[in-house]
Amino acid sequence: MTWDEMLPLLAEASGQTLQMVLWSTLFTILFGLPLGIALVGTDRDGLFPSRALHQVLGLVVNVGRSLPFIVLMIAVIPLTRLIVGTTIGTMAAVVPLTLGAVPFLARLVETALREVGRDVVQAAQAMGANRTTIVAKVLLPEALSGLIAGLTVTVVALISYSAMAGVIGGGGLGDLAIRYGYQRFETLLMIVTVVVLVVVVQLVQMLGDTLARRLSRR
């Protein structure tokens, strides 16, 4: 296989990976962040304690976390059809990717929010701040550095999960590596794909680390 043959393939696969990761990251933040806030908030000493809700949310997150991604992807096919209208293709992969990453991010958000001192929250309560204000102006800004670090780990995990999207015709770099590199013995393409993935993950991690460090004021 020559470079001229490989480049269009790589470009197309990179585009698909980018598409999957961007959309699923967006939806993961949309659902994972509130879920993480709810996990902390419903806890015994949280802002809106509810034992029952806390246990249900914890269970949901744990079930989500314990399913291997490849199994999850197959298991949610009916849901994917409902949301996207089709069960194959790049956008169809966004549904299982999001479902897989939401519990993951939620746990990381939970950890980051727990790092915010209880005394700071109490001080805000003593100033007469309501719960929405405390979440928006105390918890999230104070935990921002940790949240960015958690999001970085999640994006890297999403890039990794997206390699399996080939199973449902989602395409992407991982799929390229399997179809050409493994099944057609195109060793060079395999190596190039791996290098591209490593570089992308490095860039994401560096960007995340830099942002997290800049935001840390401790």
Partner 1 sequence: MIQASGLRKVYGETVALDGVDLHVRQGEIFGVLGQSGAGKSTLLRCVNVLERPTAGTVTVAGQELTSLTGQELNRARQRIGMIHQHFALLSSRTVAGNVAFPLEVMGVAKPERERRVAELLDLVGLSGKAGEHPARLSGGQKQRVGIARALAGNPSVLLSDEATSALDPGTTESILALLRRLNRELGLTILLITHEMNVVKSVCDSVAIMTGGRIEESGPIRELLARPGSRLAAELFPLPVPEPGTVTVTFTGQADEPVISHVVRKFDVDVSILGGALEEVAGSSVGRLRIALTGDESGAALSYLRERGLLVEVAA
Residue ranges in contact with partner 1 by CB under 8 A: 117, 119-120, 122-130, 133, 137-138, 141-142, 144, 215, 217-218
- Residue 123 Cβ, how far from partner 1 at the closest point, in Å? 4
Cβ atoms of 113 and 143 closer than 8 Å: yes
Between residues 4 and 126, which has the closer beta carbon with respect to partner 1?
Answer: 126
- Residue 112 Cβ, how far from partner 1 at the closest point, in Å? 13
- Residue 130 Cβ, how far from partner 1 at the closest point, in Å? 6
Between residues 68 and 118, which has the closer beta carbon with respect to partner 1?
Answer: 118
Between residues 210 and 216, which has the closer beta carbon with respect to partner 1?
Answer: 216
Cβ count within 10 A of residue 185: 10
Distances (CA, A) of 72 to 49, 62, 198: 31, 13, 25
Residues 6+ apart with CB under 8 A from 150: 105, 108, 109, 111, 112
Between residues 83 and 215, which has the closer beta carbon with respect to partner 1?
Answer: 215
- Residue 120 Cβ, how far from partner 1 at the closest point, in Å? 5
Between residues 76 and 139, which has the closer beta carbon with respect to partner 1?
Answer: 139
Between residues 53 and 215, which has the closer beta carbon with respect to partner 1?
Answer: 215
- Residue 146 Cβ, how far from partner 1 at the closest point, in Å? 11
- Residue 147 Cβ, how far from partner 1 at the closest point, in Å? 11
